[in-house]
């Protein structure tokens, strides 16, 4: 990382502060209870992310300069617009591929009317369906700089299949970001109406994936700086090409 005002020693001390970590864990639970991430938009589209993760993602996009950003899980499209806005500033023929099993008509319409729509490629269908994976990869054909973010179905099985399906799009120095790994660290009561829980979630999928794939590591520098994130153990940096 470059151009960070804080020095590494200060960041290391912050990360080593166990009392601070405990307070952050408690605060994260409270924020989930009040749906805190629903409070924000990016260029007029609801983004449903922690501001800290928004800041980190824009930083990684700016530094790694991907030709394509692939994101599974669209919701209202705020994250797609975030990625597109940074790619617009970078210039060139860069674009975002967004995949969702159900792109609701009002969200599709809002994205189609957005001034950054020319940077978007929308695909409707399950992100682990073979045909959908093939469509995504066709958009990335010939592109060496691809960033992937996974934010759809949060079950262990689904995320692991996404990791296996899309990891080969990501080359050395680029990032594969698995969001909502914090499910593992939250009370199960928050997920009574969901198919995922503390032992079945994106973080457990990441742990299993890393056992079978030696191309990625958890970028602890990113995590140490963030502290407050929905994606602990979820910022994966590629260390070698396929």
DSSP H helical ranges for the chain: 8-15, 18-33, 51-64, 78-90, 105-112, 130-140, 156-166, 202-212, 220-226
> 1 in a domain, yes or no?
no
The mean pLDDT of 130-146, rounded to a whole number, is: 97
- Domains of the chain: total: 1
Q: What pLDDT, on a 0 to 100 scale, did the predictor assign at position 86?
A: 98
Separation CA 198–CA 182 (nearest Å)? 9
User: pLDDT band at 205, cuts 50/70/90?
Assistant: very high
**At 188, is the pLDDT very low, low, confident or very high (cuts 50, 70, 90)?**
confident
Report how far apart, in Å, the C-alpha atoms of 18 and of each of 21, 24, 34 are.
Answer: 5, 10, 25
Residue 2 lies in a domain: no
Owning domain of residue 150: 8-238
**Per the domain annotation, does 37 fall within a domain?**
yes
Band of residue 1 on the pLDDT scale cut at 50, 70, 90: low
Dist CA 84 CA 95 (whole Å): 6
- Residue 146 domain-assigned? yes
28-32, 131-135, 198-202: which range is least confident on average? 28-32
Residue 94 lies in a domain: yes
The pLDDT value given to residue 175: 98
pLDDT per position as a tens digit, 30-51: 888 899 999 999 999 999 999 9
Residue 35 lies in a domain: yes
Q: What is the mean pLDDT of residues 60-88?
A: 98
Return all residues near 171 (Cβ < 8 A) that are at least 6 apart: 144, 145, 146, 238, 241, 242
Confidence of residue 13 (pLDDT cuts 50, 70, 90): very high
Round to whole Å and give the CA distance between 50 and 53. 5
- Put residue 69 in one of left, alpha, beta given phi > 0 → left and psi -120 to 50 → alpha: beta
Mean pLDDT of the chain: 95
pLDDT of residue 154: 97
Judge whether residue 8 has pLDDT over 90: no
Residue 29 has pLDDT above 70, yes or no: yes
Give Dmax over CA atoms of the chain in angstroms. 49
Percent of the chain surpassing pLDDT 90: 85
Whole-number pLDDT of residue 192:
84
Q: Is residue 159 part of a domain?
A: yes
pLDDT for 83-116, tens place per residue?
Answer: 999 999 999 999 999 999 999 999 999 999 999 9
Q: Is 98 exposed, middle or buried (0-12, 13-18, 19+ CB in 10 A)?
A: buried
Q: What is the pLDDT of residue 190?
A: 82
CATH no. for residue 175?
Answer: 3.40.50.150
* Higher pLDDT pick, 242 / 117: 117
Angle between helices 202-212 and 156-166 (to 10 degrees): 40
- Note whether residue 3 is domain-resident: no
The residue that leads in pLDDT, 188 or 47, is 47
pTM across the whole model: 0.95
> Is the predicted pLDDT of residue 3 greater than 80, yes or no?
no
Average pLDDT score over residue span 236-241: 97
């Amino acid at each position: 990382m470059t151009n960070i005002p804080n020095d590494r020693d200060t960041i290391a001390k912050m990360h080593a502060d166990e009392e601070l970590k405990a307070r952050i864990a408690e605060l994260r639970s409270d924020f989930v209870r009040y749906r805190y991430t629903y409070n924000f938009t990016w260029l007029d589209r609801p983004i449903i992310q922690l501001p800290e993760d928004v800041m980190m993602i824009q930083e990684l996009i700016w530094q790694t300069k991907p030709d394509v950003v692939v994101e599974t899980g669209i919701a209202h499209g705020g994250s797609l617009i975030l990625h597109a806005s940074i790619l617009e500033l970078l210039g060139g023929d860069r674009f975002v591929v967004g995949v969702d099993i159900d792109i609701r008509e009002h969200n599709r319409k809002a994205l189609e009317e957005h001034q950054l729509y020319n940077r978007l490629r929308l695909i409707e269908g399950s992100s682990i369906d073979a045909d959908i994976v093939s469509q995504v990869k066709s958009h990335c054909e010939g592109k060496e700089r691809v960033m992937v973010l996974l934010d759809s179905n949060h079950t262990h099985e689904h995320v692991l299949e996404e990791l296996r399906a899309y990891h080969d799009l990501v080359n050395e120095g680029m990032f594969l970001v698995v969001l909502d790994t914090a499910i593992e660290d939250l009370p199960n009561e928050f997920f009574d109406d969901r198919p995922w829980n503390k032992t079945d979630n994106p973080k457990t999928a990441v742990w299993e994936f890393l056992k079978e794939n030696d191309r990625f590591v958890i970028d602890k520098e990113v995590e140490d700086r963030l502290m407050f994130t929905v994606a602990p153990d979820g910022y994966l940096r590629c260390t070698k090409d396929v």
